[in-house]
Amino acid sequence: MMPVDTYTHTGRHMILGKGDFGSFMLQKIAELEARSGIQLGLAQKILLAETGTVEQVLSILTNSTIRVKVLEQKENARTITRQSIITNDAGRVLIKAHSKVFKRNLPAKVVSQIKRKESGIGTIIATHGLETFRKIVQVGYDPVSKSVFRKYQIICRKKVAFEIREELVGEFTKY
């Protein structure tokens, strides 16, 4: 369980304490590097820790247009699962994602757009103005693929609407 943000106001300044989210993620990333014997670049650390729209952050980091391509999508009565890749404008794969969508926790118009396989989840959320919260539940390293990954949930209306695993496969050291 993640610690609660703590801070103290001193006049016009805010001092974050040991339990703040930024320190927590920094610690988790340092532990991951130590356990795995790897050194992550700044862009990789940003992508592991960000809690906004990954397409937007990638676009800024790579200075290019980002595209999401849905490779496979399956649906049952309760969920939609999808495999997708995120590429830059040269077609280079930067991220592989596996998503699980909990249909009953989302508005019908959002589910309908997801079913069309035309956009990334972050773009769909932004387009519909959905109020969400992203909770990172794991960061890790896969020694077989030599890639780092993160697992997170997107909460909507106090319920888990998405569970996502993103694997950073592109070389981010030049960004």
In a domain, 3, yes or no: no
Local confidence pLDDT in tens for the 175 residues of the chain: 333 333 333 444 434 444 555 678 888 899 999 999 999 988 899 888 887 788 889 999 989 999 999 999 999 999 999 999 999 999 999 999 999 999 999 999 999 999 999 999 999 999 999 999 999 999 999 888 889 999 999 999 999 999 999 999 966 545 5
Q: How far is CA 73 from the centre of its chain?
A: 19
Distance CA 111, CA 78 (A): 11
CATH of the domain at 57: 3.40.1410.10
Q: Which two tokens stand for residue 166?
A: 């993103």
Residue 53 burial (C-beta neighbours within 10 Å; 0-12, 13-18, 19+): middle
Nearest to 148 by CA among 74, 76, 96: 96
Domain count, the chain: 1
In a domain, 1, yes or no: no
Nearest to 155 by CA among 174, 134, 140, 173: 134
Q: Which residues contact 65 (CB under 8 A, 6 or more apart)?
A: 59, 88, 89
**Structural domain range at position 90:** 14-168
How many residues make up the chain in this entry?
Answer: 175
Predicted TM-score (pTM) of the model is: 0.81
